[in-house]
A and B are shown apart, each in its own frame.
Chain A
Amino acid sequence: MNMNPRTTQKLAFAFFLLATLLIIVPVGLIVVVIIQKGLPAISWEFLTSVPKKGMRAGGIFPAIIGTLYLVSGAILFALPIGLFSAIYLSEYAKDNYMNRIIKLSIVNLAGVPSVVYGLFGLALFVDFFKFGVSILAGSLTLGIMILPIIITASREALEAVPSSFREVSLSLGASKWQTIRHIVLPNSISGIITGTILGIGRAAGETAPILFTVAAFYIPKLPHSIFDQVMALPYHLYVISTQVPNVSEQIRYGTALVLIGMVLLMNLAAIIIRYQFRKKKKW
């Protein structure tokens, strides 16, 4: 078939545009539907009180707090380890067999299905280390899940710092660590923070890793120690959508709205931080 190149070009553009527009549709629909159906449920009471009447009424406060605990725990564990290994990989590691295996492991870690993390957490933290089904076990499992996100984002941020900065710092007699501490880290902090926040968002939203390691079906009170179970938003949403009959649609969508709101807020924070740092950066 012989078509005019200009026609084929127009056709191609049209297809590409269509494909791109198709991406917006589900995102838009999710947000619109959840807001429409969930917004009426949102009230001060919904956010700050415990579930009542077999979770068919009341609020979701314990689940919000539980999610905040889990996310904080995950970050407390994953940020230092992720950042330190990113520094090692980008600044110190030589290109040898061992380090290639490490890099490959990180890529693969990112590809592991989240339910497998859940099982792994159950086997390692809950059973082997005897942490029990607890905040500690759940946080560590989530932490391992977001490690690749933090490592990859931090490595990219570190490697984006021009090597001339490092060279000049070393040539002034700074040690390698001083160079990292005073030159490389300050200039890559925005990327590291962005990666961390994206990791937080991911940790807040996942259900499978916390399923066997921490999440409680129903505890209408707050935890006292890191060895307690907690409710968590994604698992709570799963429970009231599938396990408990006759929960009003409003409560279910209200819960989803709070969850998606938290994740979007975190992503927004990441974007703002990145923007602020980018404004300052001029190389």
Chain B
Amino acid sequence: MIISGGNLDKTIKIKILDLDFWYGTFQALKKINASITEKKITALIGPSGCGKSTLLRVFNRMNDFIEGVRTEGSVEIDGKEILGPSVDLVSLRKNVGMVFQRPNPFPLSVYENIVFGLRIHRDHLSKREYDNMVEKSLKSVLLWDELKDRLKKPALSLSLEQKQRLCIARLIAVKSDVLLMDEPCSTLDPQSTAKIEELMIELKKDYTIIIVTHNMQQASRISDDTGFMLLGELVEFGKTKSIFTAPSDKRTEDYITGRYG
């Protein structure tokens, strides 16, 4: 067990130490150790049920809502422990935003979707500040030009790709700096997927992005680091290029060459 007394290495955003996770008696994550680099895209790949979504949901403690789960080990974000009962989940989740598989804007207007988080967190802003935040957030997901005249329109009337962008904009508004993406393109067509990928590459200038994906081309196209998971273990974790060209573990090689999964 490594004791980290204040993380001096500024480029490490998330440090995972000996992380175990159980759903009841089923161990879904086994002794995970990894360091996730700031302002990079980290991809988690692996067959269904390997624990990659579970791992993703450890970072914003979304597993807490499931009954009978148990976590052991340590996860630090910016050098601060996020496991344990005393953690302020509101600020953790503000900080660590999540984009879901299905684009899921609220049945509210585009505008209200973006300011929802701000209102929840009681950031008392003037109308003008809200307006500015909406503009800034939409601009950073490249939706502003499309939607600036339709801010009052219901978000549910947008296209799937626009909805997914809007969901990302919603996180930018609450000033998240880690974006967790759980197969964010799996309901999108290839063209929209390409656009969201472009956006992700654009966003990594300011955000640390962790993406769970089933699509290995996607992982190799956009990510800097890749973790391959199998049956709850993080089998291999490293530079995407080396994982995809020269995996050091036989199981990784089998998976990325399509021998199973």
A and B together in one complex: yes
With CB as the reference atom, state the residue of chain A lying closest to B93.
A173
Q: With a CB–CB cut-off of 8 A, which chain B residues contact A255?
A: none
B125 within 8 A of A: no
B98 within 8 A of A: yes
CA distance A174 to B167 in the complex (A): 15
Among B67, B94, B154, point to the contact of A173 (Cβ < 8 A). B94
Please give the residue numbers on chain B whose beta carbons come within 8 Å of chain A beta carbons, in ascending order.
Answer: 60, 62, 65, 67, 89-94, 97-98, 100, 102, 104, 106-107, 116-117, 119-121, 154, 156-157, 167, 170-171, 174
CA distance A281 to B107 in the complex (A): 8
With CB as the reference atom, state the residue of chain A lying closest to B154.
A282
Contact with B along A167-189 (1 / 0, CB 8 A): 11111111100100011000100
Pairwise interchain contact A164-B100, C-beta atoms closer than 8 A = yes
Pairwise interchain contact A173-B121, C-beta atoms closer than 8 A = yes
| Additional pairs, 5, CB under 8 Å, beyond known A169-B116, A171-B97 | A165-B107, A170-B65, A171-B100, A172-B116, A282-B107
With CB as the reference atom, state the residue of chain B lying closest to A183.
B106
A165 CB to nearest B CB, Å:
6
Among A94, A171, A182, point to the contact of B62 (Cβ < 8 A). A171
Q: With a CB–CB cut-off of 8 A, which chain A residues contact B157?
A: 282
Task: List 9 tightest A-B contacts by C-beta distance, closest first.
Answer: A173-B93, A173-B94, A171-B98, A172-B117, A164-B104, A174-B120, A173-B90, A282-B156, A168-B104
Q: With a CB–CB cut-off of 8 A, which chain B residues contact A175?
A: 90
A283 within 8 A of B: yes
Pairwise interchain contact A165-B156, C-beta atoms closer than 8 A = no
With CB as the reference atom, state the residue of chain A lying closest to B173.
A172
Q: With a CB–CB cut-off of 8 A, which chain A residues contact B98?
A: 168, 171
Pairwise interchain contact A164-B116, C-beta atoms closer than 8 A = no
Among B60, B100, B120, B171, point to the contact of A182 (Cβ < 8 A). B120
B47 CB to nearest A CB, Å:
24
CA distance A283 to B92 in the complex (A): 29
Please give the residue numbers on chain A whose beta carbons come within 8 Å of chain B beta carbons, in ascending order.
Answer: 94, 162, 164-165, 167-175, 178, 182-183, 187, 281-283
CA distance A173 to B94 in the complex (A): 5
Pairwise interchain contact A172-B93, C-beta atoms closer than 8 A = yes
Enumerate 20 A-B pairs (CB-CB under 8 Å) in ascending A order.
A94-B67, A165-B104, A168-B100, A168-B167, A170-B65, A170-B93, A171-B62, A172-B117, A172-B120, A172-B174, A173-B91, A173-B92, A173-B117, A173-B120, A173-B121, A174-B117, A182-B116, A187-B107, A282-B156, A283-B156
B242 CB to nearest A CB, Å:
32
Q: Contacts A164-B104, A182-B116, A283-B107; is A171 near B93 (CB within 8 Å)?
A: yes
Pairwise interchain contact A178-B120, C-beta atoms closer than 8 A = yes
Q: Contacts A94-B67, A182-B120, A283-B156; is A168 near B106 (CB within 8 Å)?
A: yes
Q: With a CB–CB cut-off of 8 A, which chain A residues contact B120?
A: 169, 172-174, 178, 182
B144 CB to nearest A CB, Å:
21
Q: With a CB–CB cut-off of 8 A, which chain A residues contact B171?
A: 172
Q: Contacts A172-B117, A172-B174; is A164 near B102 (CB within 8 Å)?
A: yes
CA distance A167 to B180 in the complex (A): 14
CA distance A282 to B117 in the complex (A): 22
Interface core residue of A172, A183, A187 (most chain B CB under 10 Å): A172
CA distance A182 to B98 in the complex (A): 19
Q: With a CB–CB cut-off of 8 A, which chain A residues contact B94?
A: 172-173
CA distance A178 to B119 in the complex (A): 10
Q: With a CB–CB cut-off of 8 A, which chain A residues contact B92?
A: 173
Interface core residue of A94, A162, A178 (most chain B CB under 10 Å): A178
B146 CB to nearest A CB, Å:
20
CA distance A282 to B107 in the complex (A): 7
Q: With a CB–CB cut-off of 8 A, which chain B residues contact A94?
A: 67
CA distance A171 to B65 in the complex (A): 11
A102 CB to nearest B CB, Å:
18
With CB as the reference atom, state the residue of chain A lying closest to B92.
A173
B137 CB to nearest A CB, Å:
13
With CB as the reference atom, state the residue of chain A lying closest to B121.
A173
B203 CB to nearest A CB, Å:
17
